[in-house]
Chains A and B, each alone.
Chain A
């Protein structure tokens, strides 16, 4: 699987992954729109995937990349399901605001 990357390159990749993850998390925490929040979780996913691939390249171990392929496959299925759910939620409340479901409190 080619040459390993050095630790400077690894740091860059990790930084990118971490940045993606944090961006996604901030987006998830401050936005109210269900679809945006959903996209943000996907962003966090990709951050983790980038990290995994980087480590895989660094250690020359394919299992990290294999894992990412699995994650992507499942993420695709999950995205279909979650978007369907979002559509259902929208239909019953006619809004995408997450606050509208605040009545499901304890």
Chain B
């Protein structure tokens, strides 16, 4: 298929969204929504694959602008629905539609029998539309449209259980925190327009490249752009200090957490920086700042995940942490590493969330891992699927998480050894975070699936009971395995990705591997070689050994404390009680924000409410607008006597007065 056909891609899920919206209107149609969503996302994937494997693809896929629709065309400003197709776009399209289709398929089983079944799939379809628009956009304005679109869908789907106050709170929090970042992003786009005279991505990048290669004046405005865009990326991708919304976003249904808040939407910040990397290179400080914030967030979130007892909460903080790695990657100019980690993370984190969803589903909404144990006998498939995901997340060679994380840390270390001590420190912090990651990941897995069997059912008796007990015989009460179709099969595909995607993308396809080739043929390509030696060995081998040791140490500790000697964990917890308390309360960041931002703002709101009550409603409406006209009316009322003659006299007197004035005017002077 010609590359031009890609312009139809985002509209297929949009059509699906419209159909799902129609399905919302009648209970009979409602059951169709799931199939519509899966089909539309899968056909978008098929289209992307068809173009990728089509005849003239390779040349066309290294940077083609495909025009679809005119949108804004005013004077010299023009922003249309034109798409920029290159290697990076294709990777993102595969992630969004591929992972999206698998998760949607899983969700048809997970959401079965839920009241808002069609509404859910409407949100998912709309999300895929917005996300594909985001990754394909050529104009920054169109990218912003997709950016806000995914934000909207995220809001709608976090607040999916709108009758639960915490879900509504979480949805609002996500939306508001994202606004802060998006303000920066919007300003960044404005400044790009005034500086580069274009909002087209590839034109702005060409101009930036030209300045970088041929030398040219780098104005202050140019140096400000990356920092403004960065704010948007940090908001959307949940980096410090705007990460607080993501853990709360887990109030949405689990497939949403997997799709939007792990695999795709939250990575769009990383995508955006990788996409615009030449613009970020214009400022000397922008990328190091990205790397520092990324590493700091990775470490911070990993420590919080250590003591979190919420099944999805651990994965939420781990997502924040892994996003930090990706930012470290693009920050050290290793765009391949950053996008590679985005790619593999999409597989294993989606897998982890969906298996966590299966556990939650089986336990009727129970999320507290302290109440769980030994579930491997009840849910063997879920157990080993999650195991595969955990191995990938913990960075055990040769699972996919290892390959990509290794590339990031390797590149950071290589730059660190070449006289940039900052990156050396960041790489060490990254390695330490890897240790924490291995520990908390397996802490959760051992807690849930190993040890003596115990469980407490949650309080959700709604759709779970129906769907689970009617559809697949579960043999009495208690947790049960999920059915193969449609739930466990997509997970198997994801697990294969979690195990092998890293190795395949690193070593198969092209001289330097598929991932490297794709990034090289995109706007994210950077001309930077990462080499280094440590202890007389190539840095690469050192990293493999180090990663293996770190993962073994982390997993070993987790196995000891949470499987073999659970009492030891309790003792340890007692010993470090203040630290544990600090971590359990997430460093009191939410409380701090509440005190420093939310309360003052709420105070302002109350103050302005008083103004509204007393000045606007009380004084202006009641007195000026109410009593004033009434008083005037009271005074003038008698003049409306209702007698024709008195009106006549009034008119006659008026005419006489006018005439007298006229006579005096004409003859007086």
Contacts and interface: CB of A to CB of B under 8 A. Distances in A.
Interface of A: 25, 28-30, 32, 37, 98-99, 101-106
B640 A106 contact: yes
Nearest to B642: A105
Contacts of B643: 98-99, 102, 105
Contact of B639 (A25, A28, A106): A106
Contacts of B641: 102, 105-106
Interface stretch (B15-23, B182-190, B595-603, B644-652): B644-652
Given A25-B652, A104-B642, A106-B638, 15 more contacts: A28-B645, A29-B645, A29-B649, A29-B652, A37-B644, A102-B641, A102-B643, A103-B642, A105-B640, A105-B643, A106-B633, A106-B636, A106-B637, A106-B639, A106-B640
Contacts, number: 34
Nearest to A99: B643
Nearest to A104: B642
Contacts of A99: 643
A13 to B, nearest CB: 19
B287 to A, nearest CB: 77
A102 B642 CA distance: 4
Given A106-B636, A106-B637, A28 B648 contact: yes
Contacts of A102: 641-643
Interface residues of B, number: 14
Contacts of B633: 106
Interface string B611-654: 00000000000000000000001001111111111001100100
Contacts of A103: 642
- Chain B residues touching A, majority SS: helix
Q: Which of A25, A98, A103, A105 has the most CB of B within 10 A?
A: A105
Contacts of A98: 643-645
Contacts of B639: 106
A99 B645 CA distance: 9
Nearest to B643: A102
Nearest to B639: A106
Nearest to A34: B644
9 contacts: A28-B648, A29-B645, A29-B649, A29-B652, A32-B645, A37-B644, A101-B644, A105-B643, A106-B642
A37 B644 CA distance: 10
Nearest to A101: B642
Contacts of A25: 648, 652
A101 B642 CA distance: 7
B633 to A, nearest CB: 8
A106 B635 CA distance: 11
Nearest to A98: B644
A62 to B, nearest CB: 26
A105 B639 CA distance: 9
A74 B288 CA distance: 88
Nearest to B646: A29
A99 B648 CA distance: 14
